[in-house]
Chains A and B, each alone.
Chain A
Amino acid sequence: MMMQGLRLLLPIALFAGLVGFWEWAVVRWQVPPFILPSPGAILTVFETDGASLLGSAWITLGTTLAAFVLAVISGMALAVLFASSRLAEAALSPYAVTLQVTPVVAIAPLIIVWVGLDNAWLAVLILAWIVAFFPVLASATAGLKAVDPNLRDLFRLYRAGFRQTFLRLMIPSSLPYLLAGIKTAGGLALVGAVVAEFAAASGNTDGLAWRILEAGNRLQIAKMFAALLLLALMGVVLYAILSFVEWLLLHRWHGDRRRA
């Protein structure tokens, strides 16, 4: 109990201390606001520009979630294809890897040209999806490969169909791997969305990245900090939700991945 209270209290106390020091230091050394604005000044931004920032955050969040869902579905589907056909895996996995190791910023201009500048949101979605897709594919593939071969034999012995084997054996066996990959994908979808917005670098995307660029050009440093704050918050909440889902699904048998 003590420990748990401390684990919660300590970061909060540290945060309060840091913010307090920050506020004090900015006044004490008269740091100009275009270098480092005070926490109070950053909060004020939410009063003046709150609506536009939240609107942008909403757009970035939408792209992130859409890319995330697409990545999870397509990553799992491809993993199942790989698991059921060695040929498909041999043929396709080099492309998946190539797509993964090519820096997304470098692909961005090409994708934007292809979908057209008017559809910049689509380019951002595609780029975020590319970034988030690979961890799902990799973890689902690893998970499906880790299915106990004896259990697989048992399902064959009892003449289980593909559906039964998939739902009752492959999905639950690979769940710990899959959820780890999905958690990574959630964070990467956000990273991908913001990087893609930067790369698109046009008012057409209107996400938080654009707000940051815009504010940077006008030396509105406080606004940049406010946008950063929103991004960090989104990332943390996303991670917390996915961790909670992982805990919900696994806590009864997680922590003991030994074969039973």
Chain B
Amino acid sequence: MSGDLRLDRLAKTFPNGTAALEELSADIAAGAFVSLLGPSGCGKSTVLRLIAGLEEPTRGRVDWPQTRGSLGFIFQEPTLMAWASAAKNAALPLELAGAPRSEAHARACAALAKVGLEGFANALPRELSGGMRMRVSIARALVAEPEVLLMDEPFAALDEFTRSKLNDDLLRLWAERRFTGIFVTHSVFEAVYLSQRILILSGRPGRLIADIENPAPYPRASGYRTSPEFNATAREILKALEDRAA
């Protein structure tokens, strides 16, 4: 995918009358890492589902450069098939696309190795820890080398250590693959650490209240978390949220 992914005055009201998203316009550059930040219920998941084509917008549209880019999706829960091995789970996108079994298996194992799960190809989800399950989920999302990776609070349910480890792994994978990353979170610090740009949504119905650049260069080592630059961006975000609340 070359060129921007454009969200053009996206709005969504559900059939039951819930206005989830009021109006969201943003151009997301190919290969960028963008976070969507906002309180619970402000329509962040809805934005991802609209981009993924899992919901139809009530108004506005999602403009893809030429054709719809290939997508990966990571949910807050690992969302694995409990009856299938890690490799089978990671191979799912390939197998659904009709890839030969052996090829799908080999690529799935390679994807698992990329997320630090070599040797766990045959493990069932219940035999893995929460963090490892999330890694399988990441491997599955990346196995087909998507152009756009949509992530819906993927690490929110994990402990702090696992979470920061996975943050680093995610950045490393992004540096290698250069997919367009759209990352939903309600953690200011996670948003700052990961992204080049942070879109802040107001409470329900969601609308864009700030669009903040984070110029810090990559690779961002863990020292970045305690640096003055990090603090400056975090403060800018908190201020935008406060202004809004005032």
Q: How large is the interface on A (under 10, 10 to 19, 20 to 34, 35 or more residues)?
A: 20 to 34
Q: Are A260 and B78 in contact (CB under 8 A)?
A: yes
Q: Does B28 make an interface contact (CB < 8 A)? A: no
Among B124-162, those with CB < 8 Å from A are 124-126, 133
Is B93 at the interface (CB under 8 A from chain A)? yes
Main secondary structure of the interface of A (DSSP, over half): helix
Q: Are B96 and A150 in contact (CB under 8 A)?
A: no
Verify if A86 is at the interface (C-beta below 8 Å from B).
no
Scan B57-89; emit 1 where CB is below 8 A from any A CB, else 0: 000000000000001010101111111100000
A157→B125 CA distance, assembly (Å) = 22
Expressed in whole angstroms, the Cα–Cα distance for A157 and B81 within the complex equals: 16
Using CB atoms, name the residue of chain A closest to B126.
A256
Q: Are A148 and B96 in contact (CB-based, < 8 A)?
A: no
- Please give, as numbers and ranges, the residues of chain B lying within 8 Å of A172 by CB-CB distance: 81, 83-84
Residues in A137-175 with C-beta less than 8 Å from chain B: 148, 150-151, 153-160, 164, 168-169, 172-173, 175
B97 contacts across to A, CB distance below 8 A: 158-159
**Known contacts being A158-B92, A160-B96, A260-B125, is A153 close to B81, with CB within 8 Å?**
no
User: Is the C-beta of B246 less than 8 angstroms from some C-beta in chain A?
Assistant: no
Which chain A residue lies CB-closest to B152?
A150
A7 proximal to B (CB < 8 A): no
State whether the Cβ of A218 lies closer than 8 Å to any Cβ in chain B. no
Contacting residues, chain A, for B84 (C-beta < 8 A): 172
Check B124–A253 contact: CB distance below 8 A.
yes
A-B pairs under 8 A by CB, number: 63
Provide the residues of chain A in CB contact with B71, threshold 8 Å: 157
Q: Are A157 and B54 in contact (CB under 8 A)?
A: yes
Find A252's partner among B52, B92, B95, B124 (CB 8 Å cutoff): B124
From known contacts A157-B52, A260-B133, infer whether A151 and B96 are also in contact, taking CB-CB under 8 Å: no
Tell me the residues in window 87-144 of chain A with beta carbons closer than 8 Å to chain B beta carbons: none
CB <8 Å contact, B96 and A158: yes
Query: A259 contacts the other chain (Cβ, under 8 Å)?
Result: yes
Q: Is the CB of B81 within 8 A of A156?
A: no
Give the one of B49, B81, B82 with max A CB within 10 A: B82
Task: Identify the closest chain B residue to A256 (Cβ).
Answer: B126
User: Given the known A-B contacts A157-B71, A158-B93, are A258 and B126 also in contact in the complex, defined by CB atoms under 8 Å?
Assistant: yes
Contact A259-B77, Cβ < 8 Å, known A157-B71, A253-B126? yes
CB distance from A250 to the nearest CB of B (A): 8
Distance to closest chain A CB from B61 (angstroms): 19
> Judging by beta carbons under 8 Å apart, are A253 and B82 in contact?
yes
The answer to whether A154 touches B126 (Cβ under 8 A) is: no
Determine if A259 and B96 form an interchain contact, defined as CB atoms under 8 angstroms apart. Answer: no
Q: How far is the CA of A158 from the CA of B97 in the complex (A)?
A: 7
CB A164 to nearest CB in B, in angstroms, measures 6
Nearest chain B CB to A7 CB, angstrom units: 26
Q: Residue among A148, A150, A159, A260 with the most chain B CB within 10 A? A: A260
Known: A153-B54, A157-B52, A258-B126. A169 touches B82 (CB 8 A): no
B binding-site residues for A, Cβ under 8 Å: 49, 52-54, 71, 73, 75, 77-84, 92-93, 95-97, 124-126, 133
Chosen A-B contacts, 17 in total, with CB atoms closer than 8 Å, are: A153-B49, A157-B53, A157-B54, A158-B93, A158-B96, A164-B96, A172-B81, A175-B83, A253-B83, A256-B126, A257-B82, A259-B79, A260-B80, A260-B81, A260-B82, A260-B125, A260-B126
The 3 closest A-B pairs by CB, nearest first: A260-B125, A260-B80, A260-B82
